[in-house]
Amino acid sequence: MRWVNGFAERHGELCGLARVLTWSSAQSSVTLTAADGATAVLEPFVPQAHSGPNGLREPGGLSGSADLDALAGWATPPTRLALILVRRGGYAVGLAQGSELIAHKVGTRYVQSRTAAGGWSQHRFARRRDNQADALVVSVIEHTRRVVLASPTDALVVGGDRSLVRDVLADPRLAKLAQLPRRELFDLPDPKLVVLKQALRRGRAVRITLSAPEPTAVES
């Protein structure tokens, strides 16, 4: 992994990877520790086994290309991804093979915002908004069945409005999809094709959390 080599070079002695990086594992992450105390926590979408004939050894040092290959295998994203993005202004559903979006449907559907009016008008607007949201959910369910369920998938990326996504996945016909390993991206903007492609890139990415080494006190 090029990034891991770069991390070792930035935070350790240039004397061989085995002497500058060690690793330890949690249930869904691997922590790399460099010679200067810097750490990087790697969180893939669906982590593979940490050990075994083709996996990482027991926690310790990374000793070259074999261990890097094993680390890359551990962090490899799912091959077949389903994507469902939905907000009040629209939706996007997609099916991806690797990094390529092979099928998708993007559309707009208006759901009225909340109103500050009171009394009878407020109740009327609330009913209209609920009906619009229900129609949006039904539309997304049908497009998901047509576009996504046409092929088997390994994992799911969702984004947009949390409650609308929840309502979509509550449909019994999407039960298998709802049970897949999931990455949630609820900070995404209104769904468009470019946003769907952005969700695919983020869904496949390894999340890395960096921590700088603690400063060392110097006596004078």
Q: Which domain holds residue 8?
A: 2-77+206-211
Same domain? For 61 and 91 the reply is no
Provide the CATH number for the domain around residue 166: 3.30.420.60
List, in order, residues 6 or more apart from 202 with CB less than 8 Å away. 157, 183, 185
Starting from the edge strand earliest in sequence, which strands make up the sheet with 30-34, in order?
A: 60-61, 21-25, 30-34, 39-43, 207-211
pLDDT of residue 58: 52
Q: How many structural domains does the chain have?
A: 2
127 found inside a domain:
yes
Residue 27, Cβ neighbours under 10 Å: how many?
6
Confidence of residue 201 (pLDDT cuts 50, 70, 90): very high
Residue 38 pLDDT > 70: yes
Q: pTM for the complete prediction?
A: 0.74
pLDDT digit string, tens, across residues 149-173? 989 999 999 999 999 999 999 999 9
List, in order, residues 6 or more apart from 111 with CB less than 8 Å away. 88, 89, 129, 132, 133, 136
Residue 1 pLDDT > 90: no
pLDDT digit string, tens, across residues 123-150? 443 444 445 567 888 899 999 999 999 8
Same domain? For 57 and 21 the reply is yes
pLDDT of residue 129: 46
